[in-house]
Amino acid sequence: MARRDGLISKIDLSRSPRWEPLRGLRILAVGTRHDLPGATFGPREQFSWEVVWLRAGVLDMQIDDRRLRLRAGDVAIVPPGAVDRYEWTGERRIVHSFVHFDLGPVARGWPPREGWSGRYALAEPHFVQHALDTLTALPIDRPDLWTVVGTPILELALRVLLVGPTLPPAPQVGLPACVDRALDWMRARVTNEGVERFSLVDVARAARVDRAHLCRAFRSHLDVTPMQCARLMRLDRAVAKLERSDDGIKEIAETTGFANTFHFSRCFTATFRISPTRYREDFHRGVVHRLVTPALERLAAQRIVVNEPALSRAQHRRVRGVAV
């Protein structure tokens, strides 16, 4: 009996509902504003559809007789003809981005436009935030990018917003955001030529979580603590220096952040089951050891999705000699 691959999920799209493309979608204006607490804007009659994305701070927003409070990461849609008013609150600077757009007749399959407006609370990071961030970064002197890339991105963001709570959360196929932030922060300091010392307190502050939460996340996803992971990063850098430089073992130990040669050799041998001196000798003789740290072995596996009916039709066409 053939083994079933647990990484492959099969889906059947043959009976799925269809949302036709929005033929009349057209971007009118895109921008980002920085405001101080206490500032206001409006009331004004909205001249177009608008997507508002709050990047930082707190925004009290009124759409006709509806009052909404947006917090960092939230998105709101305002329909044309509505009277809207904005008040920036809190104690820090408020940053929000916006996209004004025209919309023709709603295509078949889409929900009625009357239900589009309102607040959408999004967990960070979210695809819609990345999409809107891309829109605000498009160069103003490249109209081809606005039509070929910008408009489809906006339509896709609208689709994701309007699907709403029926859209399940994405499976965890990567690392938690706090672990990613910690890894990026540590990597930047480990790869600098100048040795930069840091503590668990420094890493947790950069990851924007407390130390206990960060340690639990690292142990759960990488089987090491943050500081053990930092040591593995230093060892990875040491491996590169052993292969690509003529620096002595003492110099490599110093430039990769180890206390002394003995400390470096002990950590290297305990991790890779070979001494740094022996590793360099073998490398120069053409014997390359595959040094994979435990942290790298724990990264998430691939997830493959196969549309089985479509695949079957494609295989059938190939059998009949039809190119696909």
Report the alpha-carbon distance of residue 255 to residue 271 in Å, rounded: 19
Mean of the pLDDT values across residues 54-83? Answer: 92
Contacts of 70 (CB under 8 A, 6+ apart): 52, 54, 58, 59, 60, 61, 76, 96, 119
Read off the pLDDT band of 302 (50, 70, 90): very low
136-165 pLDDT tens trace: 889 888 989 999 999 999 999 999 999 886
Hunting for tokens 């160069």 — which residue is that?
139
The pLDDT score that the predictor gives to residue 291 is 63
Report the alpha-carbon distance of residue 52 to residue 61 in Å, rounded: 10
295, pLDDT greater than 80 = no
117-126 pLDDT tens trace: 999 988 666 8
What's the CATH code, domain 177-297?
Answer: 1.10.10.60
Hunting for tokens 């230093």 — which residue is that?
234
The pLDDT score that the predictor gives to residue 77 is 96
Q: Are 176 and 221 in contact (CB under 8 A)?
A: yes
The pLDDT mean for the chain works out to: 82
Please state the domain extents for the chain. Answer: 26-166, 177-297
- Two tokens at 207? 């990851």
If 0-12 CB within 10 Å is exposed, 13-18 middle and 19+ buried, where does residue 118 land?
middle
Contacts of 279 (CB under 8 A, 6+ apart): 239, 242, 268, 272, 289, 291
SS (H, E, C) 56-101: ECEEEEEECCEEEEEECCCEEEECCCCEEEEEEECCCCEEEEEEEE
Report the alpha-carbon distance of residue 169 to residue 124 in Å, rounded: 12
Q: Are 86 and 34 in contact (CB under 8 A)?
A: no
Read off the pLDDT band of 89 (50, 70, 90): confident
Read off the pLDDT band of 308 (50, 70, 90): very low
Mean of the pLDDT values across residues 276-288? Answer: 86
The pLDDT score that the predictor gives to residue 299 is 43
What's the CATH code, domain 26-166?
Answer: 2.60.120.280
Q: Is the pLDDT higher at 16 or at 52?
A: 52
The pLDDT score that the predictor gives to residue 8 is 54
The pLDDT score that the predictor gives to residue 10 is 66
297, pLDDT greater than 90 = no
Q: Residue 142 CA to chain centroid, in angstroms?
A: 25
The pLDDT score that the predictor gives to residue 157 is 94
The pLDDT score that the predictor gives to residue 73 is 87
Residues paired with 180 in a beta bridge: none
Report the alpha-carbon distance of residue 260 to residue 262 in Å, rounded: 6
323, pLDDT greater than 50 = no
Report the alpha-carbon distance of residue 101 to residue 48 in Å, rounded: 6
Question: DSSP label at 199?
Answer: -
Q: Are 293 and 257 in contact (CB under 8 A)?
A: no
